[in-house]
């Protein structure tokens, strides 16, 4: 017997229609590429998303045709999120920090037919557009009078001219909820990038789950600042969960420096912000020397790479801001776990609570996870056994776009490439990317642990641990360190800082001071490039 409830597809168009109807005056504020602050409402976004849909119909784009974006976080990008996906096309967000050759490769692989870009990226587009024959229409996200005449890009129109004359009502198609909605390529540290192709259903389920109180806890009383880019994994789904709840959205545009982010948080009454650790480092770096405080910010979600304990401490102790450590990946839409305590943990002493907060957190409803040894045998959830992390759930990829790379699943589980422990309460802790683990004397050393200790030293701005070949131990860890401006620490001082903080054999063999650690397109440390840079390095006991 079937239930007798209404059958209704879970569609992205329903989010923007809901936000329009029930939170029409909810604010959407953006710092624009031009530097000024733009203000609109959910109704304004909905109206223009419908105009986007008409503009795409005008180009005779078919169901599931791809529309690329190279854009910062802002209202026009948000309109594209709903207008493109809502009308049955696939929104393909492209990371502008990639090399032009890589971007051209991705655009061609996706067969984008329209490509919308912020004016910041005009030179970038000029560099690769001739290599992208599938693109029929280039759209500059600007007013008509801001579009130069001599760009050399054929079929280029300004966004405002493109959507300006279009009708503001639209009948959103009643799609199958499994229809593709958006596409995001993985950062692809090895081989070509692969596309994660999200569906309307996976996106809505992810938005429901991510808004839960134990996840991001998004509500109509929030003003959210997604510093996480809309060009990478849909800004952690915040555009969708904000529309679902009617939260105010505050977009930082291209200004991600500490001063600009701080000013926006204060001016717009931001209650909740989400970003990768490097962005928060810049923010704290701006606030600390000047003694600035937050007046409205209550919580931040930090993920994308491990959040250093020193950062959690600073936010909580010095600024009264709750840090929620999150883990996820492109293939997971992206959220897998989020770290919030259970009721029983509230009675624990502060230090023990802190040990839990450092972990990447508990499974969100919808996601299941397990850890396995190299033979695929499941490992116990004892908080100690570390193994390869596998996940499954309705917003986890089943296959990559165009089935690139074959079937990625192992018995229905997606291997994340991360190594983790899971404790008896279900708290997962990433100890490493499997390729970054330092294997020393048959034991594994977590590069994240080594980095976190260095980061706790007051003179250290950034730390990256890598394994270096050793004839006896197989590999030994070294730590590469960037010092804070004006601060100093010697190799010996830093190595002695490790004593008592970790097992002796896990203390790195050396410290290499550097001006900068290479960072990839999604703000993560590029250890592959770091290893290349240190190709001629020899450990102290081998010199």
Contact residues toward ligand AMP (CB under 6 A) are 186-187, 233, 303-306, 325-330, 334, 360, 416-418, 430, 433, 522
Task: Decide if 368 contacts 392 (C-beta within 8 A).
Answer: yes
Complex with ligand AMP: residue 41 or 416, whichever CB lies closer: 416
Task: Name the nearest CA neighbour of 89 among 72, 113, 125.
Answer: 113
In the complex, the smallest distance separating the C-beta of residue 128 from ligand AMP, rounded to whole angstroms, is 22
In the complex, the smallest distance separating the C-beta of residue 337 from ligand AMP, rounded to whole angstroms, is 8
Q: For this structure, is 493 an active site residue? A: no
Q: For this structure, is 402 an active site residue? A: no
In the complex, the smallest distance separating the C-beta of residue 186 from ligand AMP, rounded to whole angstroms, is 5
In the complex, the smallest distance separating the C-beta of residue 95 from ligand AMP, rounded to whole angstroms, is 9
Whose tokens are 């800004």? That residue is: 235
Complex with ligand AMP: residue 122 or 437, whichever CB lies closer: 437
Catalytic residue among 40, 69, 93, 186: 186
Whose tokens are 């909740």? That residue is: 272
Strand order in the sheet with 114-117: 156-158, 137-140, 114-117, 66-70, 90-93, 180-185, 195-199
Catalytic residue among 331, 340, 431, 451: 331
Structure tokens at 138: 């280039």
> Could you give the CA distance from residue 44 to residue 287 in angstroms, rounded to a whole number?
34
Q: For this structure, is 331 an active site residue? A: yes
Catalytic residue among 278, 392, 444, 524: 444
Complex with ligand AMP: residue 59 or 530, whichever CB lies closer: 530
Complex with ligand AMP: residue 76 or 325, whichever CB lies closer: 325
Task: Decide if 453 contacts 497 (C-beta within 8 A).
Answer: yes
> Could you give the CA distance from residue 414 to residue 390 in angstroms, rounded to a whole number?
5
> Could you give the CA distance from residue 389 to residue 430 in angstroms, rounded to a whole number?
9
Complex with ligand AMP: residue 89 or 232, whichever CB lies closer: 232
Complex with ligand AMP: residue 107 or 419, whichever CB lies closer: 419
Structure tokens at 397: 């990829």
In the complex, the smallest distance separating the C-beta of residue 339 from ligand AMP, rounded to whole angstroms, is 9
As to burial, measured by CB atoms within 10 angstroms (0-12 exposed, 13-18 middle, 19+ buried), residue 520 is middle
CA dihedral 16, 198, 73, 211 (to 10 degrees): 60
CA dihedral 272, 335, 38, 219 (to 10 degrees): -50
Q: For this structure, is 444 an active site residue? A: yes
In the complex, the smallest distance separating the C-beta of residue 540 from ligand AMP, rounded to whole angstroms, is 29
Residues known to be catalytic: 186, 331, 439, 444
């Amino acid at each position: 017997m079937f239930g007798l409830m209404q059958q209704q597809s879970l569609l992205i168009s329903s989010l923007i229609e809901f936000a329009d109807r029930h939170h029409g005056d909810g604010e959407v504020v953006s710092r624009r590429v031009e530097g000024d602050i733009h203000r609109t409402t959910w109704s304004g976004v909905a109206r223009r998303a419908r105009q986007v849909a008409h503009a795409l119909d005008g180009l005779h784009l078919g169901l599931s045709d791809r529309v690329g974006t190279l854009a910062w976080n802002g209202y026009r990008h948000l309109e594209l999120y709903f207008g493109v996906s809502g009308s049955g096309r696939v929104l393909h967000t492209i990371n502008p920090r990639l090399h032009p050759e890589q971007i051209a490769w991705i655009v061609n692989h996706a067969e984008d037919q329209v490509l919308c870009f912020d004016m910041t990226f005009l030179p970038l587009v000029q560099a690769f557009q001739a290599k992208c024959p599938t693109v029929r229409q280039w759209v500059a996200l600007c007013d008509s009078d801001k579009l130069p005449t001599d760009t050399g890009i054929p079929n280029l129109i300004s966004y405002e001219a493109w959507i300006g004359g279009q009708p503001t009502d639209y009948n959103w198609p009643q799609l199958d909820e499994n229809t593709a909605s958006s596409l995001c390529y993985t950062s692809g540290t090895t081989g070509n990038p692969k596309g994660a192709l999200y569906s309307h259903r996976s996106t809505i389920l992810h938005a429901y789950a991510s808004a839960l109180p134990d996840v991001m806890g998004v509500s109509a009383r929030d003003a959210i600042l997604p510093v996480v880019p809309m060009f990478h994994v849909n800004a952690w789904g915040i555009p969708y969960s904000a529309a679902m709840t009617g939260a105010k959205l505050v977009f930082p545009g291209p200004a991600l420096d500490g001063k600009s982010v701080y000013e926006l948080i204060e001016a717009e009454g931001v209650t909740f912000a989400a970003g990768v650790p490097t962005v928060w480092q810049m923010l704290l770096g701006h606030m600390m020397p000047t003694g600035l405080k937050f007046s409205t910010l209550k919580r931040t979600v930090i993920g994308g790479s491990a959040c250093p304990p020193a950062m959690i401490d600073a936010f909580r102790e010095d600024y009264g801001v709750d840090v929620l450590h999150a883990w996820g990946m492109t293939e997971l839409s992206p959220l897998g776990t989020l770290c919030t305590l259970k009721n029983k943990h509230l009675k624990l002493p502060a230090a023990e609570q802190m040990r839990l907060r450092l972990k990447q957190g508990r499974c969100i409803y919808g996601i299941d996870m397990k850890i396995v040894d190299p033979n695929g045998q499941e490992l116990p959830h004892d908080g100690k056994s570390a193994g390869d992390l596998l996940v499954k759930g309705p917003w986890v990829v089943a296959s990559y776009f165009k089935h690139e790379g074959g079937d990625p699943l192992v018995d229905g589980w997606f291997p994340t490439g991360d190594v983790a422990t899971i404790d008896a309460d279900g708290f997962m802790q990433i100890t490493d990317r499997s390729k970054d683990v330092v294997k020393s004397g048959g034991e594994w050393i977590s590069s994240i642990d080594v980095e976190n200790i260095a980061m706790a030293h007051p003179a250290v701005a950034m730390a990256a641990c890598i394994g270096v070949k050793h004839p006896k131990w197989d590999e030994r860890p070294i730590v590469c360190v960037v010092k804070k401006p004006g601060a100093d620490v010697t190799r010996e001082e830093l190595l002695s800082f490790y004593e008592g903080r970790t097992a002796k054999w896990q203390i790195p063999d050396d410290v290499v001071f550097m001006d900068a650690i290479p960072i990839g397109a999604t703000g993560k440390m590029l250890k592959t490039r770091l290893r290349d840079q240190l190709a001629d390095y020899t450990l102290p006991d081998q010199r």
